[in-house]
């Protein structure tokens, strides 16, 4: 185990213990307005996440136009908003002080659970991990309900947060335009 892994385990253990304590207080009718205290190492860990993800988000257009990238990923816009609060993303990228009310307080939860449809009446591919087995809920809209992200960004996020992978292929038209088919066709059984 590397030093980063040991630190991450320690960070998460402390964080979830404090979160459980806050939940218990709220269930017992106690209002917990006391923010979870985070260490300087935890603060730097979250700030680093914000900086790395900012760089990935900035490179989307370039990565999308790279023909070597055959797949892109979908991420819940709601999850991303919660994560941005959790890491004080806007403050970090603006090089201003983090928001103590939200920074490091409530983690964003599992990625993509809110936008995925689980409906057994549709055919599944034999390989359960196949991207064609994951369907978005109906009427999901880009920039409102989900965002497209690069493979590198999905890899980074999925190393740190649990969730559902939503992978989609990139198609190129005869005139060279690239597009992503977000809503897969569903076949009734």
Q: Say if CB 69 and CB 151 are below 8 A apart.
A: yes
Which sign does the torsion angle of CA 132, 134, 135, 136 carry? negative
Q: How far is CA 151 from CA 10, 19, 30, 56, 137, in A?
A: 28, 31, 43, 10, 22
Q: Please state the pTM of the whole predicted model.
A: 0.77
Per-residue pLDDT reduced to its tens digit, 117-137: 876 556 566 666 667 778 889
Mean pLDDT is lowest, of 39-48, 114-123, 130-139, 143-152, for 114-123
Question: Would you call 146 exposed, middle or buried from its count of C-beta atoms within 10 A (0-12, 13-18, 19+)?
Answer: buried
Per-residue pLDDT reduced to its tens digit, 77-113: 999 999 999 999 999 999 999 998 899 998 999 999 9
Q: Say if CB 55 and CB 121 are below 8 A apart.
A: no
């Amino acid at each position: 185990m590397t030093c980063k892994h040991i630190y991450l385990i320690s960070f998460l253990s402390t964080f979830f213990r404090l979160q459980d304590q806050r939940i218990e207080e709220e269930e017992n009718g106690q209002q917990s307005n006391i923010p979870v205290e985070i260490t300087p190492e935890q603060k730097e860990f979250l700030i680093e996440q914000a900086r790395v993800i900012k760089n990935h988000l900035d490179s989307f257009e370039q990565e999308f136009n790279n023909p070597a990238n055959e797949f892109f990923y979908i991420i819940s816009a709601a999850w991303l908003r919660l994560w941005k609060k959790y890491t004080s993303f806007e403050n970090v990228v603006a090089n201003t002080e983090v928001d103590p009310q939200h920074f490091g307080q409530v983690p964003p939860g599992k990625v993509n659970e809110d936008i995925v449809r689980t409906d057994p009446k549709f055919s599944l591919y034999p390989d359960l991990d196949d991207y064609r087995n994951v369907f978005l809920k109906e009427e999901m809209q880009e920039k409102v309900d989900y965002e497209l992200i690069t493979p590198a960004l999905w890899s980074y996020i999925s190393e740190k947060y649990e969730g559902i992978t939503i992978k989609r292929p990139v198609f190129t038209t005869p005139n060279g335009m690239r597009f992503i088919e977000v809503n897969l066709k569903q076949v009734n059984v």
